[in-house]
Amino acid sequence: TITLDKPLEFDVPVNSTSDGSPPIGGATYDSKAAPLVDPVVGVGLEQFTLTQDMPNLNKADAVHNYGNMDPRAQMHGIVFKWAANSWVRGMRAEMTGSHPIVTEEAKNLQIVNNELDGSWNKGKGGNGYFRGSRVWDSLYAGNTSRNLRHFTFQWSASGNVVIGNDFDSDLNLHGGWERNNLFELNTVRVSYGHRSGNCRANCGDEGGGGPDDSNWFPIWWGAGKKAVKWSGATGARNVFFNNTMTKQLSANGPFQDYYPDKQRIYIFGWNGTGYQHLDIAGTPIPDWAKNEQRDYTNGRGIDATKTDSAQSLFLKNVSR
């Protein structure tokens, strides 16, 4: 018996063919539930600094290097796994082995007012993220992130709010039907140097067979082979509102505004009533890379029909 504490966010068929879908590779797979049973509860981490000392490596060599400098040293900083009602506040992480903060099966977290700077490994295997995986109903607020690969939501992350952060890497919807997340009042300034092709060894392949020659923009949306390789497409109703996002498209070039309308509500993967994959002339995009500047409004996968004069959709009052 499974007891639910909130409504389901999507239909869960008995198996992969019971809703009329064709077999996957000739096989049928049963649906599974992974309840958050007996989690660690009420853990708070506050006001300290952590680092991973690597005396044979130079921190400067890690800047805009999206490979792994020492794959054997891929140690995360803080991991919330099977955890709830917990928090990290006022912490500084400098040069961790991989992710400074990462979740796997976590709920009701507060990740607030932390400083994250750098990782020795940002390449193959998915390293060097500020990573929210299988995280639900959590708050990421007032954090500063520098010299990481991405800020990600992935693997069913849902109901989270990302507000008032300052990042130099992308807001990355990494795939796995992450949905119903809100990004607002963030500053995201992505330089030309922040791109997959900037890699010296042990490079991440982005799911497409090797580092590509595209640019990482302030938003990344999971589609095509890159998403299918590890998780499947990004889900519905990921909302962007009143963010300050800019992208530099050439070395020493100007920073250009990205989704600059501060009052417009951009709902990705949504047509107003249900999920819609981002598309070009009715065909789902095969890749977000090199399609980042297309217009997906007006029925092409981003519902931008709503505006709001408030500063925040989440907060009643905003003070800076």
User: What pLDDT digit, counting tens, does each position of 97-151 carry?
Assistant: 999 999 999 999 999 999 999 999 998 888 999 999 999 999 999 999 999 999 9
**pLDDT reported for residue 209:** 52
CA angle 60, 63, 184 (to 5 degrees): 140
Q: How far is CA 222 from CA 35, 134, 260, 288, in A?
A: 25, 16, 22, 7
Non-local CB neighbours of 233 within 8 Å, separated by 6+ positions: 175, 177, 222, 223, 227, 277
In tens, the pLDDT along 208-267 reads 455 577 899 999 999 887 777 777 889 999 999 999 999 999 999 999 999 999 999 999
pTM (2 d.p.)? 0.92
Backbone angles phi, psi at 59, to 5 degrees: -55, -40
Residue 311 has pLDDT above 90, yes or no: yes
The mean pLDDT value of the chain amounts to 92
pLDDT at 138: 98
